């Protein structure tokens, strides 16, 4: 149970059950359960939206749902996306880009990127044709993409939590994460969901290949960026008439 608890404590604001630092091995095994965190977050978001729509218009309910999304996840992946925007577009050398991404201060690229992400997510939630599937699959597929890129792409730094996680993520973790995601997709929106799995993997790979042209590997911020991008892709997909 420790890897599952570690996954929830790492990715969400849910109450802390284990009050100690997790080992690198535990965090590596926790990666396998990232999609499970996405499933739980998705059901909570759908519950928030369902009850909000009982008394509020669709557009306001979408805003409340997005607000809850940010709270439940501590804006964890959004923060990574904003740091990535600052680093990749604000620096001119790999070293400078990595330095900017490590800086906690936010620049113009990060602010603009964050605003555009939130606007896109809000618009997609407001216009969704299948909100249940969208809210379950977006956080699930977003957190399935993370294990894939952690395993298949190099890490840019020689220290930090990201590299420790990568060193302890193996094929077993990828298989578990993929099985959880595939089963969820089958029951939520089969067979369309398997197209979304493929599309999510492609988007994750394209982002990582682009990043590798600018810096020598991925970082924790890039992991957050990929998760955010996949979530947007899924939400937008379910606005198609």
Residues of the domain holding 177 = 2-237
Give the model's pLDDT for residue 131: 95
Q: Which residues, 6+ apart, have CB-to-CB distance to 143 below 8 Å?
A: 11, 34, 35, 37, 38, 227
Average pLDDT, stretch 16-33?
A: 87
Question: Would you place residue 217 in the very low, low, confident or very high pLDDT band (cuts 50, 70, 90)?
Answer: very high
Q: Is the pLDDT of residue 93 over 70?
A: yes
For the chain, how many structural domains are there in total?
1
d(CA 162, CA 217): 11
Give the model's pLDDT for residue 17: 78
Tokens for 45, please give them: 């978001």
Dihedral pair phi/psi, residue 232, rounded to 5°: -65, -40
Say if residues 125 and 235 touch (Cβ distance below 8 Å): yes
Give the model's pLDDT for residue 241: 61
């Amino acid at each position: 149970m420790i890897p599952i608890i570690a996954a929830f404590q790492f990715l969400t604001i849910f109450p802390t059950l284990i009050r100690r630092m997790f080992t690198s091995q535990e965090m590596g095994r926790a990666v396998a359960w990232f999609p499970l965190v996405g499933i739980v977050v998705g059901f909570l978001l759908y519950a928030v939206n369902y009850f909000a729509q009982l008394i509020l218009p669709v557009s306001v309910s979408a805003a409340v749902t997005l607000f809850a999304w940010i709270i439940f996840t501590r804006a964890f992946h959004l923060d990574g996306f904003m740091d990535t925007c600052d680093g990749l577009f604000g620096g001119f050398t790999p070293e400078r880009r990595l330095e900017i991404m490590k800086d906690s201060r936010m620049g113009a690229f990060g602010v603009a990127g964050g605003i555009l992400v939130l606007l896109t997510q809000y618009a997609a939630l407001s216009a969704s044709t299948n909100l249940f599937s969208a809210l379950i699959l977006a956080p699930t597929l977003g957190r399935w993409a993370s294990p894939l890129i952690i395993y298949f792409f190099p890490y840019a730094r020689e220290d930090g939590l990201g590299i420790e996680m990568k060193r302890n993520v193996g094929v077993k973790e990828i298989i578990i994460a993929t099985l959880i995601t595939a089963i969820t997709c089958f029951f939520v929106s089969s067979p369309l969901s398997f197209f979304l799995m493929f599309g999510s993997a492609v988007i994750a790979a394209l982002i990582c290949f682009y990043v590798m042209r600018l810096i020598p590997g991925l970082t924790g911020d890039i992991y957050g960026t990929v998760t955010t991008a996949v979530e947007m892709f899924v939400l937008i997909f379910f606005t198609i008439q």
